[in-house]
Structure 1
Amino acid sequence: MTDLFPALPYADWRPTRDTLHRFLQVVGKVRLAASPRRNHWWNVPLHLTGRGLTTRPMSVDGVRSFCIDLDLLDHRLDLTTADGGRWSFPLTDRSVAAFHADLAAGLAALGLDVTIADPRPFDLPDRDRPFAEDTEHATYDPAAVTRYWRVLGQVNLLLEEFAGRYSGKTSPVHHFWHTFDLALTRFSDRVVEHGAATDPVTREAYSREVVSFGFWFGDPATPEPAFYSYTAPEPAGLADAPLYPGAARWQEQNGSHLAVLTYDAVRATADPRATVLEFYESAYRAGAIAAGWSVDGFSCRGGVTDPVLAAARRADHERVLRAEHDMAVASDWGSAR
């Protein structure tokens, strides 16, 4: 099972990670400029494909469609248009400045007039340096990027499965290029009032109560990959709730609390997939119960809302639990004899 979750020490691939992060920010800002806005910024993130990441189709004029795909197995960028146009270049041996220039050249060559509103990194240490001037970040280890992609794919499958257990409003599973994490969010649809001083990004992202789940690849503040969850706004007593498995913990961050389970702790277990799902479920119940959500009302076993099939599945589940209980009792009785 650990082959599904290969070792990914933050320090070992940090230079490549920092370069790739900025590549994704360049592509993501094109997506931001060329997509219609959706609630909670759902138009902004990147999505997974069978070979890497995609912007999904977008358009400058609402008519002519184009797409940017990052192939993280062959390590190429493909810019394509619905009418057959294509521009491609390798991801290796490029600084951020060169990547930015090559993508801009491709957009121009295909007649796509895209203007990035702020062509600089978002919320990174070099946020004041334009992409076009960043020759510092130029490390790209293909093996490390492919390993990142494989981890991303496994976590994506876990989050897709976890998403099916909730019948309320749920975000897609998507890769946020600004924070370099894969995330899924559940909503109660209870409106959250923000003060006028709250920035517009936060006001849109957290206009409703949420419990969010995801995976990040580490950063200077937390230099190790980890699974996480948070509830916003944070209800009283959240960090007093139990988390599972035992290696999970509440971590204070910017005045609130994250539920955290490190990637290496998951890799050390006999069943990493079951461990992550147990963690997400415990973090969800902690947040939802403390915030007063209808946990039973939103429950959706196996992604089923059909009441007939759902009742049959509940009955099957209860029969399994009774059988397991009877076996345990019989075993205890036999041991006592």
Structure 2
Amino acid sequence: MELFPPIPLSQWQDTKETLHRFEQLVGKIRLAASPRRNHWWNVPFHLTGRGITTRPMRDVDGTSVFTVDFDFVDHRLVVSTLDGRARSFPLAGQSVASFHDNTLDALAALGLGVRINIPRPYDLPDAGRPFAKDTEHAAYDPVLVNRYWRVLSQVAVVLEEFAAGFAGKASPVHHFWHTLDIAHTRFSGRHTDQPPEVDPVTREAYSRELISFGFWFGDELYPEPAFYSYTAPEPAGLTGEPLEPASASWVARYKTHLAVLPYDAARAESDPRALVLAFYESAYQGGARRAGWDVGQFASPGGITDPQLPLPPGGL
């Protein structure tokens, strides 16, 4: 199977917009049915062998454990309970409104109570329109959705490999339904002061100094898929730090900067995996150096924190 197959934004823009709203609805179910975790780590999706999952949750009464999974092989939404019951329906042929209704019907059929506080998109152009009234977004190309999931899965493996080199506080590799990106974040442990007008979502996400690494599929500001990294808060002189490879650059976004490696630039190389790892490492070294992190303290080469006890070549 090709590593990093092509997925230009222009080719699946309509499908992406529909899928994004599908995922936001299910993400809000996850938000409502999971205990809150620092930096909103309870909210994102995780990858599976067939798609993405909410992971186990409890319903509003606390009596049932359930998951909601997107199956991007058979293209179905599957709601499953811990006692083995399940309901599913096809993803293709749905508008956001019908997807909303079918999802709630599946939950009700299994006796699952979930209260979605704000049942409309978050931070999207139609944020004022309830999911239940969106008949505009109804495109779903199964081939391209499957490719989206394969790209996510391949990037996740590279991010997991990169994550092994850090021994400090770090996030899982997880898929955010807010911006439809996949990310891994490292933390220095230092608290960050934020102005009182900063919104609650941002305050919690950036309450500690961090360097984040990820991949997104493109948007109106940067209309192509790309690997990225950023340091928050952004230290002075960050954009003067060198990036690898030469096709990577610092890109202004809102009031800060992203280190960006275009997806197609990585695809064009003979070893795109090594190229992406080098990109992430250069962004980390630059951000950590400018922010004054103790890189040696956080080092975990090969996922080992005790260099005196390396694993044998064959593992455990």
TM-score interval (norm. to shorter): over 0.9
Separation in 2 of the partners of 1:172 and 1:242? 27
| 1:81 equivalent in alignment to 2:81 | yes
Separation in 2 of the partners of 1:148 and 1:311? 35
1:326 maps to: none
| 1:36 equivalent in alignment to 2:25 | no
Please list the CA deviations of residues 260-285 of structure 1 after superposition, one character each: whole Å capped at 9, or x if unmatched: 00000000111000000000000000
The one-letter amino acid paired with 2:45 is L
Equivalent pairs, count: 312
Identity of aligned residues (%): 63
> Which of the two has greater helix per residue?
1
Separation in 1 of the partners of 2:63 and 2:218? 39
Superposition misfits of 4+ residues, deviation over 3 angstroms: 310-313
Q: Pairwise mapping of residues 166-315 of structure 1 onto structure 2 (< 5 A)?
A: 166-309=166-309
2:122 maps to: 122
When the two structures are superposed, what TM-score results if normalisation uses the length of structure 2? 0.97
| 1:151 equivalent in alignment to 2:151 | yes
Structure 1 unaligned residues grouped into runs of 5+? 314-337
Deviation, structure 1 residue 312 = 10
Deviation, structure 1 residue 111 = 1.1
Separation in 2 of the partners of 1:287 and 1:264? 24
1:8 maps to: 7
The one-letter amino acid paired with 1:95 is S
Deviation, structure 1 residue 63 = 3.8
The one-letter amino acid paired with 2:305 is T
The one-letter amino acid paired with 2:68 is I
Contact 1:301-1:310 at 8 Å conserved across structures: no
Deviation, structure 1 residue 198 = 1.2
Separation in 1 of the partners of 2:146 and 2:307? 42
Q: Secondary structure at the match of 2:115?
A: coil
When the two structures are superposed, what TM-score results if normalisation uses the length of structure 1? 0.91
1:322 maps to: none
- RMSD, aligned α-carbons: 1.4
Structure 2 unaligned residues grouped into runs of 5+? none
Separation in 1 of the partners of 2:184 and 2:73? 25
Contact 1:227-1:262 at 8 Å conserved across structures: yes
The one-letter amino acid paired with 1:299 is A
Separation in 2 of the partners of 1:130 and 1:211? 34
Separation in 2 of the partners of 1:44 and 1:121? 15
